[in-house]
Homo-oligomer: A and B are copies of this chain.
Amino acid sequence: MLTYTFEKGGGVPLYEQLYRRIRDDITAGRISCGSKLPSKRALSEHLGISKVTVEAAYSQLIAEGYIYSVEKKGYYAEKVSLAPFAEPETEKAPSLRGFAADIKSNGVSLEHFPFSVWSKLMREVTLNYSRELMASVPFNGALCLREAICAYLAENRGMRVVPSQVIVGAGTEYLYGLIIQLLGFDKRFALENPSYSRISEVYKAHGVDCIYVDMDGGGVKTRALEKSCAQVIHISPAHHFPTGTVTSPKRRSEILEWANGAADRYIIEDEYDSEFRFTGKPLPPMQIADVNNKVIYINTFSKTIAPSIRISYMILPPPLAKMFEERLGFYSCTVAAFEQYTLAKFISDGYFERHIRRMKRYYKLLRDDIIADIKASPIAEKSEILEPDSGLHFLLKLKTQKSDAELSRACADKGIRIAFLSEYYAGKGGEEHLALINYSGIGREDFQKALSCLEEQV
């Protein structure tokens, strides 16, 4: 029978520990697909824990699709093993090229995706939507998905938006391109400095004028924004990458006021990981405070579900939504109908919220572990953890004489991919020695490899 020992006083409830152990055994294939689990009573007696605890763990496993129950028979493990790729795949995505550990890529933990639930929904969609799957969806996305997004945003972010404001598209990069086409190639776009390089690459590839505005601890500097003569500012106020800065309420009003200063000024509010804030109540999106139709809100399912699910969306203020339909409504929606219907069901049936809750718990535990590992390592004396309460990454300030370039080269030689804040600055870089700890796509073991490598270098 399944035999586990539990940590006491570790802050993790017993049922949660049991749930995690069984889940890990299933995903690792140690409990094989279709095999029967012990009855709740048998397991509680065997492990010396209460039946209620086993019940809670089993319920969680059922809800997340790891096990299923057969009436009057018992509980069985679902098929969630990660089968090896059947086809020869000689080319690899850059992030996989030969690195033993990669804490530069801000990936997504794939093992915890409720794959069996997703497959079940795919099967349902296949059976019930055959005609819709073949027909085109409207330019802005399938209505059922746009409705599900509106309901989700109302419930979770307090946003009151209607489906006609939603534009569904194949990834945020594609949506940035649509925004440029909507607002005009003659506009000057301002980006936060530092910022995620992918954003500026899209603007540059479109040949538009694109400049940087420096940030301080409160967000993008409003005085510099005024001076920049930009019409559009692209920001991530909820949780900035890579600094982790949360734009302050005061700064938010200033930026809104800046936008209100001219008819052609707009704010792109890019909320790429607002779902994963671990402490305190997140600030409401700027979209809510916007009464002058100035904020274009963008979010994506690539971070919350999986990067291969290419579905992002933006919420346009009503006048821009109207303009979009007139000028760009000729475009076909870039997301396949099948994925749209599956995602709509995933959201409407409550799986998405449950998934977010579960991932949030998982990421929080992982982050706690990783921070504990740093504190227990010899690097603790030579470093300082910054912004530890932010989202899916934090900064580690290293006390060293070496340059960031030297450090990342030395780590790369040992198979460890690591990035520093200074790489994300336009022009002359910002402060050195701030290592970016992107832990969302990495396991604890790989992180420990990265940590010991870093420790050798500083």
Interface members, chain A 300-348 (any B CB < 8 Å):
302, 306-311, 327-328, 330-339, 344
The reply to whether the CB of A201 lies closer than 8 angstroms to some CB of chain B is yes
* Neighbouring B residues of A79 by C-beta, 8 Å: 127
A100 smallest CB distance to B (angstroms): 18
Q: Are A110 and B122 in contact (CB under 8 A)?
A: no
The residue in chain B whose Cβ has the minimal distance to the Cβ of A96 is B135
Q: Are B170 and A137 in contact (CB under 8 A)?
A: no
Q: Are A137 and B207 in contact (CB under 8 A)?
A: no
The reply to whether the CB of A6 lies closer than 8 angstroms to some CB of chain B is no
Q: Are A310 and B328 in contact (CB under 8 A)?
A: no
The reply to whether the CB of A173 lies closer than 8 angstroms to some CB of chain B is yes
Q: Are A85 and B330 in contact (CB under 8 A)?
A: no
The reply to whether the CB of A456 lies closer than 8 angstroms to some CB of chain B is no
* Neighbouring B residues of A185 by C-beta, 8 Å: 185, 206-207
Q: Are A336 and B307 in contact (CB under 8 A)?
A: no
Interface members, chain A 120-176 (any B CB < 8 Å):
122-123, 126-138, 143-144, 163, 170-171, 173-174
The reply to whether the CB of A93 lies closer than 8 angstroms to some CB of chain B is yes
A359 smallest CB distance to B (angstroms): 13
A151 smallest CB distance to B (angstroms): 13
| Cβ contacts A222-266/B at 8 Å (1 or 0 each) | 000000000000000000000000000000000000000000000
* Neighbouring B residues of A134 by C-beta, 8 Å: 108, 110, 113, 115, 306-308
The reply to whether the CB of A181 lies closer than 8 angstroms to some CB of chain B is yes
* Neighbouring B residues of A82 by C-beta, 8 Å: 130-131
* Neighbouring B residues of A113 by C-beta, 8 Å: 134
* Neighbouring B residues of A133 by C-beta, 8 Å: 115, 306, 308
Q: Are B205 and A307 in contact (CB under 8 A)?
A: no
Q: Are A83 and B130 in contact (CB under 8 A)?
A: yes
Tell which of B83, B136, B173, B327 touches A307, judged by Cβ atoms closer than 8 Å: B136
* Neighbouring B residues of A128 by C-beta, 8 Å: 83, 86
Q: Are A181 and B206 in contact (CB under 8 A)?
A: yes
* Neighbouring B residues of A91 by C-beta, 8 Å: 138, 143, 163
The reply to whether the CB of A395 lies closer than 8 angstroms to some CB of chain B is no
Q: Are B110 and A201 in contact (CB under 8 A)?
A: no
Tell which of B135, B170, B328, B332 touches A335, judged by Cβ atoms closer than 8 Å: B170
The residue in chain B whose Cβ has the minimal distance to the Cβ of A124 is B86
The reply to whether the CB of A413 lies closer than 8 angstroms to some CB of chain B is no
A92–B338 alpha-carbon span in the complex (Å): 17
A59–B255 alpha-carbon span in the complex (Å): 67
Name which of A90, A332, A344 has the most chain B CB atoms within 10 A of its CB: A332
* Neighbouring B residues of A92 by C-beta, 8 Å: 138
A172–B317 alpha-carbon span in the complex (Å): 28
The reply to whether the CB of A89 lies closer than 8 angstroms to some CB of chain B is yes
The reply to whether the CB of A177 lies closer than 8 angstroms to some CB of chain B is yes
Q: Are B130 and A126 in contact (CB under 8 A)?
A: no
The reply to whether the CB of A73 lies closer than 8 angstroms to some CB of chain B is no
Give 6 A-B contacts (CB < 8 Å), ordered by A residue: A85-B132, A136-B308, A173-B331, A181-B205, A181-B207, A338-B339
Nearest 8 A/B pairs, CB to CB:
A308-B337, A170-B334, A110-B134, A185-B207, A136-B307, A134-B306, A82-B131, A170-B170
Beyond A115-B134, A170-B336, A310-B334, 14 additional pairs, beta carbon < 8 A? A83-B129, A119-B126, A122-B122, A123-B123, A136-B308, A170-B335, A181-B205, A184-B207, A205-B327, A309-B338, A310-B333, A336-B339, A338-B338, A339-B339
Please report A residues at the B interface, Cβ cutoff 8 Å.
79-87, 89-93, 108, 110, 113, 115, 119, 122-123, 126-138, 143-144, 163, 170-171, 173-174, 177, 181, 184-186, 197-198, 201-202, 205-207, 302, 306-311, 327-328, 330-339, 344
